[in-house]
Amino acid sequence: MSQEPPCRIGTTPADLAREAERAVLYGAVLAAQRPGVRLKPAIAERALALLPAVQAYLRGDEGPLAAEALSYARACGAEAFLSAKRRPPAPHD
Residue 2 confidence (pLDDT): 59
Q: How far apart are CA 49 and CA 38, in angstroms?
A: 14
User: Averaged over 13-23, what is the pLDDT?
Assistant: 89
Half-sphere exposure at residue 29, Cβ-oriented, CA atoms within 13 angstroms: 22
Residue 90 confidence (pLDDT): 62
pTM for this model (two decimals): 0.83
Position with higher pLDDT, 9 vs 44? 44
Share of the chain above pLDDT 70, in %: 91
Report the amino acid identity of residue 51. Answer: L
Residue 93 has pLDDT above 70, yes or no: no
Q: How far is CA 48 from the centre of its chain?
A: 11
Residue 87 confidence (pLDDT): 76
How confident is the model over 26-63, as pLDDT tens digits? 999 999 999 999 999 999 999 999 999 999 999 999 99
